[in-house]
Amino acid sequence: MRDTVTPTHCPYCALQCGMNLTPAPDGTAVEVTERADFPVNRGALCGKGRTAAAVLSPGVRLTSPLVRSAGGALVPASWEEALERVAGELGRTRAESGADAVGVFGGGGLTNEKAYSLGKFARVVLGTSQIDYNGRFCMSSAAAAGNTAFGLDRGLPFPLEDIPRTGCVILVGSNPAETMPPSLRYFTELRENGGTLIVVDPRRTRTADHADLHLAPRPGTDLALALGLLHLVVAEGRTDEAYVRERTTGWEETRAAAMAHWPEYVERITGVSVPELREAVRLFCEPEAAMVLSARGPEQQSKGTDTVGAWINLCLATGRAGRPLSGYGCLTGQGNGQGGREHGQKADQLPGYRKLTDPAARAHVAGVWGVDPDSLPGPGRSAYELLDALGTDIRSLLLMGSNPVVSAPRAAHVEERIRSLDFLAVCDVVLSETAALADVVLPVTQWAEETGTTTSLEGRVLLRRRAISPPEGVRSDLEVLHELAARLGGGRNLEKGFPTDPEEVFEELRRASAGGPADYSGITYRRLAEENGVFWPCPADGEPGGGVHPGTPRLFLDRFATGDGRARFAPVSHRAAAEEPDDEYPVLLTTGRVVAQYQSGAQTRRVDELNAAAPGPFVELHPRLAERLGAAEGDPVAVVSRRGRAVAPARITTAIRPDTVFMPFHWAGEGRANTLTNPALDPTSRMPEFKACAVRLEAVRR
């Protein structure tokens, strides 16, 4: 048994690092070991990846269904009882209040097969339009901007291996040294090769420590910063006029908008000095090739789509998109945040990244599903809007792989809405804070106990392989959907459309995605096992002239995915954050992650080694702010916004702006950062404004 090594991928971030799993002699546990053959991480793993097997332990995770008793406690139950309860309550709500009174909320950690089946289940079995997922909180603004500019959204339109070979990278609102540590080597190699790294972040993070230039704008002003840089590009004659003329549209309006953001004006808005702005333009424009990479910083804003559009404009104006070693890319956060939205979990999308409002897309997918296109519901609410409607329009909720009690903005309100539901069913690996509120909790398999595919931030479709059997009493999400479809089908044998074999589901996903923007039809499990992943789009009809399609690691080199093949400029202008500081709330709060925890912490907070490194929340503040408050290192500090109050120890550092405080969002309880955050939504992407809200600080006497 010890000689059986299973090559697979990490369950956490979108790097999807390769790793090997070796089972223990009794086959109930595994050891994580290096896998040097996978090109993304080349054997390197962060602490989360190295300790990932700890969450497989039966002592950590759920191993039996739980149902809410008459006395109010969650008690163990049989699968039959639990499934009957879920199906009965969902069916009752649908019958009494209509299909849209039933909601479905998914997760960016679900495999492609699960995401696809969940979206199909919502629309075919439940008939509800009310489905979205926590990936809406990840990169929806970048997706919206990318679709507008390029006609296609894929996190990175090029592989990570291109980063060390370009001339300059502007990294906007991203801290990969802590969020995806194995990727830091690409930026280190960039500098070793003579390239430069510019980091845009209000904090001097571990990533910023590696930068040639660190720009520290006020939270919520990234849009003004990008416009100021574009102004200087034009003023200094650094635009690529031939490229703009031949490969883009909309430049005149965009240039006019940028010229209204002169350097001194941008300095007043952002706090970034004019000499720093000029140096950033020089470093970005002098090499032959350059990139802009963004993450949640500019995206999790009520103007996130425009902000990303402004950074794309910078790339287009300088000819840095659709050319070798150049372009704009988004560093996706969640493990399958990319694939999770491509195949039907998102409120407005069908498999293959098709639009739910497109009659041809509806007809194609309905044909694969064997249903009438007119029976498919239209687009539903976005993630926060769905959560906000719980207990009113939406009476029952099926939730898979998400923990919104910790991860959603205005979290205390979201928790209140969840508590007001008539019925909540949660499928999860552990008893998260959200699962603890459920009427039924279904224990499901996780990464090492199941086979399935994910899609990394590069657009590389990967095969995770089952290495061990799950504990007795645990079933897969695919089995759950199969059983619920049988019980809710009303004699229509709907369970046949919900197979439990992941490869069978993937074969259907291939057909459903064929011809769509995210075309997986040329990808098979066999190819994935042999090729270390395949980049989409990969159509089944191969290349012109015959042969198997090799996949598409680099997009847009010949043309963009728009009707005329040209990229679209976005004429945008700066506007303030939805909530600016005032006399009552004079400080800005921004949130993020730390290296030893992941997302809502539901899994990583159960690993002793990770908790030792990051045991709890904290408030990071500048010494001048701490002095005014009268707080010393480690003193409890209350951070208060218009939505609530959080308390955590002070961490005093000069690495943050004096007008800004930072809190990580991995913890529940009194240190829950998302109690404070603002649910103001981007009008296009419906992304909440996690990254900037007005707060005040209070000393806490205990």
Give me the CATH topology for the region 156-330. Dimethylsulfoxide Reductase; domain 2 (3.40.228)
pLDDT of 601: 94
Give me the CATH topology for the region 6-56. N-terminal domain of TfIIb (2.20.25)
Give 66-137+336-535's CATH code, choosing from 3.40.50.300, 3.40.50.11440, 3.40.50.740, 3.90.79.10: 3.40.50.740
Considering only CA atoms, which of 61, 89, 88 is closest in space to residue 473? 61
pLDDT of 611: 96
pLDDT beyond 80 at 25:
no
Q: Which two tokens stand for residue 270?
A: 């952002």
Q: What count of other Cβ atoms lies within 10 Å of the Cβ of residue 17?
A: 25
- Evaluate the CA torsion angle 423, 427, 433, 434 in order and state its sign: negative
Band of pLDDT at residue 29, cut at 50, 70 and 90: confident
pLDDT beyond 50 at 1:
no
pLDDT beyond 70 at 165:
yes
pLDDT beyond 50 at 188:
yes
CA distances from 690 to 12, 17, 137, 631, 675 (A): 21, 27, 9, 25, 11
pLDDT beyond 70 at 550:
yes
Band of pLDDT at residue 544, cut at 50, 70 and 90: low
Q: What count of other Cβ atoms lies within 10 Å of the Cβ of residue 1?
A: 9
pLDDT of 162: 98
* Separation between Cα atoms, residue 376 and residue 368, nearest integer Å: 13
Span 235-276, pLDDT tens digits: 999 999 999 999 999 999 999 999 999 999 999 999 999 999
Q: How far apart are the first and last CA of the chain?
A: 55
pLDDT of 163: 98
Q: Where are the domains of the chain?
A: 6-56, 66-137+336-535, 156-330, 587-699
Strand ordering across the sheet containing 6-9: 6-9, 18-23, 30-33
pLDDT beyond 90 at 3:
no
pLDDT of 118: 98
Question: What's the whole-number mean pLDDT along residues 612-636?
Answer: 97
> Mind giving me the DSSP string for 549-593?
----SS-SSS--SSTTS-EE---------SS---SSS-EEEEEE-
Span 359-380, pLDDT tens digits: 999 999 999 999 999 999 999 9
Considering only CA atoms, which of 338, 378, 423, 377 is closest in space to residue 138? 338
CA angle 491, 495, 497 (to 5 degrees): 120
Strands 131-133 and 423-428: unpaired
Give 587-699's CATH code, choosing from 1.10.10.10, 2.160.10.10, 2.40.40.20, 3.30.70.3280: 2.40.40.20
Q: Which two tokens stand for residue 53?
A: 């097997």
pLDDT of 336: 92
Span 565-581, pLDDT tens digits: 999 999 999 999 999 99
Kindly report the pTM of this predicted structure: 0.96
Q: Which two tokens stand for residue 532?
A: 């270390």
Q: Is 28 exposed, middle or buried (0-12, 13-18, 19+ CB in 10 A)?
A: middle
Phi, psi angles (nearest 5°) of residue 293: -120, 130
Q: Which two tokens stand for residue 577?
A: 């954050």
Residue 329 DSSP code? E
Are 73 and 31 a contacting pair, CB within 8 Å? no
pLDDT of 28: 65
Question: What's the whole-number mean pLDDT along residues 477-502?
Answer: 93
* Separation between Cα atoms, residue 602 and residue 620, nearest integer Å: 23
Strand ordering across the sheet containing 534-535: 452-455, 460-464, 534-535
Are 442 and 425 a contacting pair, CB within 8 Å? yes
Considering only CA atoms, which of 36, 78, 679, 30 is closest in space to residue 386? 679
Question: What's the whole-number mean pLDDT along residues 325-348?
Answer: 92
Q: Which helix (H) or strand (E) holds 645?
A: strand 644-652
Alpha-carbon 37 to chain mean position: 26
Question: What's the whole-number mean pLDDT along residues 316-330?
Answer: 97
Percent of the chain whose pLDDT exceeds 90: 93
Are 337 and 138 a contacting pair, CB within 8 Å? yes
- Evaluate the CA torsion angle 409, 53, 11, 79 in order and state its sign: negative
Considering only CA atoms, which of 327, 306, 287 is closest in space to residue 569? 306
Band of pLDDT at residue 545, cut at 50, 70 and 90: low
* Separation between Cα atoms, residue 399 and residue 448, nearest integer Å: 21
Band of pLDDT at residue 491, cut at 50, 70 and 90: confident
Span 277-315, pLDDT tens digits: 999 999 999 999 999 999 999 999 999 999 999 999 999
* Separation between Cα atoms, residue 619 and residue 608, nearest integer Å: 22
Alpha-carbon 634 to chain mean position: 32
Q: What count of other Cβ atoms lies within 10 Å of the Cβ of residue 383?
A: 30
Max intra-chain CA distance, the chain: 75
Percent of the chain whose pLDDT exceeds 70: 98
Question: What's the whole-number mean pLDDT along residues 34-61?
Answer: 94
pLDDT of 385: 98
pLDDT of 27: 64
